Amino acid sequence: MKNFSVGISGIGSYVPDKVVTNDDLSKMVDTSHEWIVTRTGIEERRIAYQDMATSDLSTSAALNALEDANLKPEEIDLIIVATVTSDYALPSTACIVQKNIGAVKAAAFDLNAGCTGFVYAMITGANFIKAGIYKKVLVIGGETLSRIVNWRDRNTCVLFGDGAGACVLEACEEGYGIISSELGSDGDNYEFLIQPGGGSKEPARIESIAKDLHYIQMDGREVFKFAVRAMENSSIRALELANLDLEDLDFLVPHQANIRIIDSARKKLKLPEEKVYVNLNKYGNMSSASIPVALDEAIKKGKIKKGDNVLLVAFGAGLTWGSLVLRWNKEDEDV
Ligand code: ACO
């Protein structure tokens, strides 16, 4: 192909089968189903079993995506795992996925951009293909947020869940695939969403663990205000860069953090509810895994057709934001 774009040739996802409902949580912390649903839209979430790590969820999602792309693991050139909950501080989770699936010739690395990680990873992977360095890139968003959430802190433990989604990126017909992207960050406000312990600043020590520093801490109100602004502005910018008007947008797959944040973006983009995919009621916020799991479900439900303009938009720790417009490149029968 002389002139080409980069598109998704295969997609897959995996969530653990263990369900934790809001009523289950109300037995652990001072909360209620009613509070959680009204403030967030979340009804239940999936939690990984004790012996499951992020690499395990990511491996299952990756194998599903490879099957969908009709590729063998040894054909993959690069694996990027977007995660804030890697198996270990080192090595990367991507290297463990590489071993698990047998992607013997792939380079592999992790990428941390908070909940925006999947969008960052898609754009990174696509540019390796655009530059002619690689042909087949496996991009995974995999998380076990349950491992870094304080199950005694009602401000955070009700929000998150575990899961993984994966896409294979390859060259596709020009004008399809990724047609625009926008990434940004605001490091000034990094403390609004942070896991302070376990890194070089506050290494794991008896004192840091006693102070619960190894758990997520969040200023929910500040993150909420930032999220509404970031989702709206980034979406508009990505559409402008794609030379699209609001009415050209066919479908929105937003980061699944809070239904009120999604609704404000939907209204700004003047989209009816049926053109926005929402599954946070079932899974909560799975950070980097939210968008690929939602996109996979939307495709399997036949909500996206070849030629549709699909916007992915996310925000997260960093603070970061990012969006990309995909012109869906697969025929329905390929899915
Ligand atoms: N159950 C009952 N009450 C609760 C709970 C709970 N689970 N959690 C907090 N409350 C209380 C608070 O203590 C507070 O009580 P107070 O008024 O006596 O102090 C009250 O409810 C209201 O708290 P607010 O913070 O005003 O509630 P708000 O309407 O803002 O909703 C929420 C809180 C859901 C966290 C919201 O701010 C939000 O969604 N923020 C964005 C969070 C987010 O998206 N984070 C993920 C980022 S992505 C990443 O990179 C991981």
Instruction: Give me ligand 1 centre to Cα 221, in Å.
Output: 7
C-alpha to C-alpha distances, 311 to 261, 266, 277, 297, 333, nearest whole angstrom:
16, 11, 11, 15, 22
Q: Is the CB of 154 under 6 A from ligand 1?
A: yes
Q: Is the CB of 227 under 6 A from ligand 1?
A: yes
Is residue 285 annotated as part of the catalytic site, yes or no? Answer: yes
Decide if 5-175 and 178-327 have a common fold.
Answer: yes
Instruction: Give me ligand 1 centre to Cα 189, in Å.
Output: 18
Q: Ligand 1: which of 45, 155, 193 to mutate, judged by most atoms within 8 Å of the beta carbon? A: 155
How far apart are alpha carbons 320 and 92 in whole angstroms?
21
- Tens-level pLDDT at each residue, the chain (335 residues): 567 899 999 999 999 999 999 999 999 999 999 999 999 999 999 999 999 999 999 999 999 999 999 999 999 999 999 999 999 999 999 999 999 999 999 999 999 999 999 999 999 999 999 999 999 999 999 999 999 999 999 999 999 999 999 999 999 999 999 999 999 999 999 999 999 999 999 999 999 999 999 999 999 999 999 999 999 999 999 999 999 999 999 999 999 999 999 999 999 889 999 999 999 999 999 999 999 999 999 999 999 999 999 999 999 999 999 999 999 998 865 54
- Closest ligand 1 atom to the C-alpha of 260? 39
Query: Which two structure tokens, joined as six digits, stand for 94?
Result: 């991507």
Q: Let me know: does 166 contact 12? Beta carbons within 8 Å.
A: yes
State residue 2's pLDDT score: 63
178-327: CATH topology is Peroxisomal Thiolase; Chain A, domain 1 (3.40.47)
State residue 84's pLDDT score: 98
Nearest partner of 294 among 13, 8, 6, 9, judged by Cα = 13
How far apart are alpha carbons 316 and 329 in whole angstroms?
28
Q: pTM for this one?
A: 0.95
State residue 122's pLDDT score: 98
What is the CATH superfamily name and number for domain 5-175?
Answer: Thiolase/Chalcone synthase (3.40.47.10)
The DSSP output letter for 311 is E
Phi then psi for 157, rounded to 5 degrees? -70, -20
Q: Is the CB of 251 under 6 A from ligand 1?
A: no
Nearest partner of 153 among 47, 29, 31, judged by Cα = 29
How far apart are alpha carbons 231 and 268 in whole angstroms?
10
How far apart are alpha carbons 241 and 324 in whole angstroms?
10
State residue 106's pLDDT score: 98
Domain ranges of the chain: 5-175, 178-327
Is residue 115 annotated as part of the catalytic site, yes or no? Answer: yes
Three-point CA angle 139, 293, 5, nearest 5°: 45
State residue 4's pLDDT score: 85
State residue 87's pLDDT score: 98
Is residue 172 annotated as part of the catalytic site, yes or no? Answer: no
Query: Which two structure tokens, joined as six digits, stand for 224?
Result: 């909420």
Q: Let me know: does 312 contact 324? Beta carbons within 8 Å.
A: yes
Q: Is the CB of 286 under 6 A from ligand 1?
A: no
Task: Print the SS3 string covering 82-121.
Answer: ECCCCCCCCCCHHHHHHHHHCCCCCEEEEECECECHHHHH
Instruction: Give me ligand 1 centre to Cα 48, in Å.
Output: 24
Q: Let me know: does 295 contact 253? Beta carbons within 8 Å.
A: yes
